[in-house]
Structure 1
Amino acid sequence: MSTPITDPAQLPPAFEKAMNSGDLNAVLSLLAPGAVMRTVTGESVTGQALRDYTAGSIAGNAQLSNGPSRVVAGDDIAFITEEWTMEVTTPDGNRKKATGTTANVARRGQDGGWRMAVLNPLGTA
């Protein structure tokens, strides 16, 4: 990410664009240091495991579609929810589709840019 995202509502479309373009570094640039993600299987991943999980989605030609976002922001933290659909090809060659409602937390960094700190595609499920 060359220019920091200055509005947390811009994160979901930026994430969608980076994922759909297959650009792992662009996706990872949208994550705060120490970011954690709850995967669609319920496992929590961070660090190298989060990188590997994201790389696996990209390798499966993941195509993400986000609905309208709802953002509540204050000072340096924001809560973001949205409907999403993702299609990905699994290692066995089958195309799978998943849907859900996110419950994500973004954090503003020292550079003034917003990044995802907690990614929870399963929301409250």
Structure 2
Amino acid sequence: MSTPITDLAQLPPAFEKAMNSGNLDEVLNLLAPGAVMRTVTGETVTGQALRDYAAGSIAGKAQLSNGPSRIVAGDGIAFVTEEWTLEITTPDGNRKKATGASANVARLGEDGTWRYAILNPLGTA
């Protein structure tokens, strides 16, 4: 079990670290119940589909690098943006690199832990 993220500024680096270490449980622990993600292909996933998507990224030896985060927070909800680079091995064995700017929403749980509720690596696109 990971250390609860009580400092919102630590959420983006914790997500990067969990993804890069290949720890699916850590990645999922940083997501709020009912979290939703818009994938880089534009598909929206939640629940088991979100778990499968994260597992697929880990299976592809994903390496995520986040730029500085910009955070606007108030009353238990936050808007988190940042530039990112992701390298991943595709099922055909090729290593691919993608970049973008995310627009994510984090929520403060009743337990005092910040988690992502909405992940949108495509930002406003």
Q: Give the TM-score normalised by the residue count of structure 1.
A: 0.98
- Which residue of the partner structure matches residue 90 of structure 2? 90
- Which residue of the partner structure matches residue 3 of structure 2? 3
- Which residue of the partner structure matches residue 67 of structure 1? 67
Equivalent pairs counted in the alignment come to: 125
Where structure 2 has 5 or more consecutive residues not aligned to the other structure, the ranges are: none
- Which residue of the partner structure matches residue 121 of structure 1? 121
- Which residue of the partner structure matches residue 52 of structure 2? 52
Instruction: Tell me how far 1:75 sits from its aligned partner.
Output: 1.1
In 1, Cα distance between the equivalents of 2:87 and 2:14? 18
In 2, Cα distance between the equivalents of 1:2 and 1:92? 33
Kindly report structure 1 stretches of 4+ aligned residues shifted beyond 6 Å. none
In 2, Cα distance between the equivalents of 1:18 and 1:49? 19
- Which residue of the partner structure matches residue 20 of structure 2? 20
Matched residue type, 1:58 = I
2:31–2:115 contact (8 Å) kept in structure 1? yes
Identity of aligned residues (%): 84
- The CA deviation string for residues 58-97 of structure 1, in whole angstroms up to 9 with x for no partner, is 0000000000000001011000000000000000001111
Instruction: Tell me how far 1:3 sits from its aligned partner.
Output: 2.6
